[in-house]
Amino acid sequence: EALHLVHLPATSNVAENSPPETAVYKFAVNLSASLSPVIPGFPLIINSSPLTKAFKVNGLSGTDFEVVTSGKEQLDFETGPNIFDLQIYVKDDVGVTDLQVLTVQVTDVNEPPHFLGNLAKGLELYIAEGINPGFIYQVEAFDPEDTSRNIPLSYFLISPSKSFRMSASGTLFSTTEFDFEAGNNSHYLIVEVRDSQGLKVSTALQVNILNINDEIPRFTSPTRVYRIREELSPGTIVANITAEDPDDEGSTSCLLYSITTINNYFMINQLTGTIQVANRLDRDARELRQNPTISLEVLVKDRPQGGQENRIQITFIVEDINDNPATCIKFTFSIMVPERAAKGTQLLDLNKSCLDNDSEAPNNKFNFTTPSGVGSSSKFLQDPAGSGKIVLIGDLDYENPSSLASGNKYSIIIQVQDVAPPYYKNSIYIYILTSPENEFPLVFDRPSYVFNVSEVMSARARIGWVQATDKDFPQSSIVYSISSGGASLQQPNIFWINSKTGELQLVTKADHETTPTYILRIQATNSEDTSSVTVTVNILEENDEKPICTPNSSFLTIPVDLKVGTNIQNFKLTCTDLDSSPRSFRYSIGPGNVNNHFTFSPSAGSNVSHLLLASRFDYTGRFDKIWDYKLLVYITDDNLLSGWKKAKALVETGTVTLSIKVIPHPTTIITTTPRPRITYLIQRENMYSSSAWYVPFVITLGSMLLLGLLVSLIILLAKAIYRHCPCKARKDKKPLVKKGEMKTTKRATVVETIKMNTVFDGEAIDPVTGKIYEFNSKTGARKWKAPLTETPKWKESSPQGTTTHRVTAGEGMGPLRTTN
């Protein structure tokens, strides 16, 4: 009652080469007692030996099934396996299964023969023309049964032909020699093969006769000489070479053309045979000007390599055309003609400068048209007409107003023209310039020049102008220069001239006293001439020298009680002036003559004057306070001039500096050396200069600040000591404060200061500065004496030289009392 396969295991046969769905074996499935159906897709072949996909299971009903061929593999008795064991497996819904084996045997079937390879589909054979009759091709076929048993197959030619035959073994022979050009170049044959049991198969053979290259090409173009014009554009077709090949009659596509001659002018299309211009064909240049004939050899062949070929010679004759206009070396000519050139002078021959590059006449012939130009027809002419020879027929005076109006420039336009069509022409421009000649000399507007110059004129002052002219045109720039003269002892030349304007200037001040007159030679130069002129420069005398006095400065000392009118130390001034009389001096004292104590005598009219004391000194009454006088003495050279002349005349003033020291009455005897007014008392480091007033000021101020800082520190220290270290109070008989009372405490402070006063009991004069200082004969202390105070009266000092000051402070905040 279990699920199982009915009619299996079993054995079945199938013929080889069976088509798909061929029935192999039928079987059934006996369901189980539960009648559970077979799962869809079952039964199936789960394995085979040997492995194959040539079989499958088809369902006929729910329980009937059939094994058929699948067509996925070809069953071949001769080449493949002959027996297959198929394992068929079935399964129902409840999982019951069964497995059985079906053995399939492949049976042999007689098959017809078949052709091998491409022969089965038909074959094309190619035979070259002209070969001898004989073997062409071996036809081969295969029969599975007969070939395996070495039984020969039989071959037949179904369509008989006079040109072919076939042997029983399948060999195809030709029976005649083929000619491609004779026609009938393709033959269609049917070949049949049969096996021992009479099965047969046929195929087609296409036998084609091949044309071989056995004929040379033949040229068909008749022309051998070509005449062409020059200057054809590149690419222009000038010839067409044609040929034909007997081997390929009626078609030229297989012929190749080429030019074997080396040339730069032509190229040929290798497929069509057309010859084209490759480069410019200029009949008038290079080798074509000498020989206009070009010979070429054209080669035609029927294949690129080898094959048959043929050659011909062709000739091209290049003809000249009028393609070049007449040209000149240049089309603009500039001619310089002297203004005094004679009439009839040939100025230019255009034939020497122009030519036509065409190679043959009349293309290379030309002439000249009539010249034209504003204002030139009366001065220039082409003689003879059309010759290109320009001749002068008028006057070319450079200075002529009409010539100057035209700028001495003339323009001529003339055309050079071909005599053959298309009559090319070019314009020629001729510019004629008149060159000036030196007809007039370069002259100054005066034969000589005289200039007067004051000696007080400063450097770069203008003296005057010189001017030279030249009547020749164009007027070139004139350059002025000093060729000689103008030197002084201090300067190589005290004059300068502007090279463009001729203006004469001073380089430095001139001095009448040194050189009163200068003779200059001034030269004017232009591009053609040189001319010179004499210039006299007179240096006018002026009062420009200051009086010079000796001595220029001096230091004098006088006693305080010197009598009025006394010549101070016999001092005198001796003055000189290069441009003034000795009687022209006037003396005056400027700043520093306080209270007018000093004067000079005489004060005017002499070159020698003495320094006198004009008034006595009064230091006691404090009328005078200055002990050192700095006098600035003026010496003026205007004494001989009247009042109205002084305002206009030049006045010079010299100066002299005097230092005068007034010496007070001496109080001590000063020991001096034999040399007067020199005392050696102090060292240099003790000197004091009044200009260094700030030194004691800064020292004093700094000392005061340091002293104040020290006092404040002492006070702060005392307060700190008193605050932290109180002394033990002693008992008084009386209480300081009564019980129940508050009383202000009064303190008495006694400050005692001892001041040391130095007594200066002598005075002396410092030999270096000339100032008076005081000194203490015992201690050696010194100090400068104030010059504005009156002479002190010395007081006798105490032997100790000290003074005690006692200051007692009153009660409370009252003022201090000082006791000396």
| pLDDT at site 250 | 57
Q: How far is CA 229 from the centre of its chain?
A: 55
**Whether 121 and 176 share a structural domain:** yes
In a domain, 772, yes or no: no
Which of the 8 DSSP states describes residue 138? E
| pLDDT at site 416 | 92
Phi-psi domain of 595 (left: phi exceeds 0; alpha: psi -120 through 50; beta: other): left
CA distance 194 to 814: 175
In a domain, 696, yes or no: no
Are residues 573 and 608 in contact, defined by beta-carbon separation less than 8 angstroms? Answer: yes
Instruction: Label the pairing between strands 448-454 and 530-540.
Output: parallel
**Whether 19 and 81 share a structural domain:** yes
**Whether 413 and 489 share a structural domain:** no
| pLDDT at site 649 | 66
| pLDDT at site 451 | 94
Residue 773 has pLDDT above 60, yes or no: yes
Tokens 């001239």 — which residue?
497
- Domain with residue 563: its CATH number is 2.60.40.60
Burial (CB count <10 Å: 0-12, 13-18, 19+), residue 341: middle
How many structural domains compose the chain? 6
- The CB density around residue 97, as the number of other CB atoms within 10 Å, is 14
- pLDDT digit string, tens, across residues 377-407: 788 988 888 888 999 988 888 888 878 878 8
Could you say which of 663, 680, 712 is where a domain stops?
663
**Stretch 117-124: mean pLDDT:** 86
How is residue 515 written in tokens?
Answer: 């050189």
**Whether 224 and 331 share a structural domain:** no
In a domain, 781, yes or no: no
CA distance 785 to 770: 12
How is residue 517 written in tokens?
Answer: 């007159």
Q: Which residue has the higher pLDDT, 322 or 489?
A: 322
**Whether 402 and 448 share a structural domain:** no
| pLDDT at site 334 | 92
**Whether 44 and 68 share a structural domain:** yes
Closest CA to 757 of 804, 719, 723, 792: 804
Could you say which of 107, 127, 155 is where a domain stops?
107
Q: How many DSSP H helices and E strands does the chain contain?
A: 5, 58
**Stretch 300-321: mean pLDDT:** 89
| Residue 518, CB-side half-sphere exposure with 13 Å CA sphere | 32
- pLDDT digit string, tens, across residues 624-652: 888 899 999 988 887 666 655 565 667 88
Instruction: Label the pairing between strands 553-559 and 653-663.
Output: parallel
Could you say which of 319, 347, 375 is where a domain stops?
319
**Whether 333 and 348 share a structural domain:** yes
Alpha helices in 632-691 (DSSP H): 643-646
Q: How confident is residue 742, by pLDDT bands cut at 50, 70 and 90?
A: very low
- Full domain range(s) for residue 127: 114-210
**Whether 348 and 300 share a structural domain:** no
Q: DSSP letters along 514-542, please?
A: T-SEEEEEEEEE-SS-EEEEEEEEEEE--
- Judged by DSSP in three states, 351 sits in helix
- pLDDT digit string, tens, across residues 480-535: 999 998 887 777 888 999 999 999 999 988 888 788 899 999 999 998 889 999 99
CA distance 78 to 82: 9
| pLDDT at site 531 | 92
Whole-number mean pLDDT of the chain? Answer: 82
| pLDDT at site 281 | 92
- pLDDT digit string, tens, across residues 449-484: 999 998 888 888 899 999 999 888 877 889 999 999
- Judged by DSSP in three states, 625 sits in coil
| pLDDT at site 640 | 65
Which of the 8 DSSP states describes residue 789? S
CA distance 194 to 176: 28
In a domain, 50, yes or no: yes
The residues facing 200 across adjacent strands are 194
| pLDDT at site 258 | 94
**Whether 590 and 523 share a structural domain:** no
Q: Which residue has the higher pLDDT, 782 or 707?
A: 707
The structure's pTM equals: 0.35
In a domain, 310, yes or no: yes
**Stretch 344-371: mean pLDDT:** 89
In a domain, 670, yes or no: no
Are residues 25 and 12 in contact, defined by beta-carbon separation less than 8 angstroms? Answer: yes
Closest CA to 136 of 180, 172, 187: 172
**Whether 654 and 603 share a structural domain:** yes
Listed range (168-172, 640-644, 745-749) with the worst mean pLDDT: 745-749
**Whether 198 and 227 share a structural domain:** no
In a domain, 777, yes or no: no
**Stretch 140-154: mean pLDDT:** 82
CA distance 90 to 44: 7
CA distance 681 to 143: 166
- pLDDT digit string, tens, across residues 547-571: 889 898 999 999 988 888 889 888 9
**Stretch 294-309: mean pLDDT:** 88
In a domain, 496, yes or no: yes
**Whether 517 and 412 share a structural domain:** no
- pLDDT digit string, tens, across residues 52-109: 999 999 998 888 999 999 989 888 887 889 899 999 999 888 888 999 999 999 988 8
Q: DSSP letters along 210-273, please?
A: EP---S--EE-----EEEEETTPPTT-EEEE--EE-GGGTT--TT-EEEE-S--SSEEE-TTT-
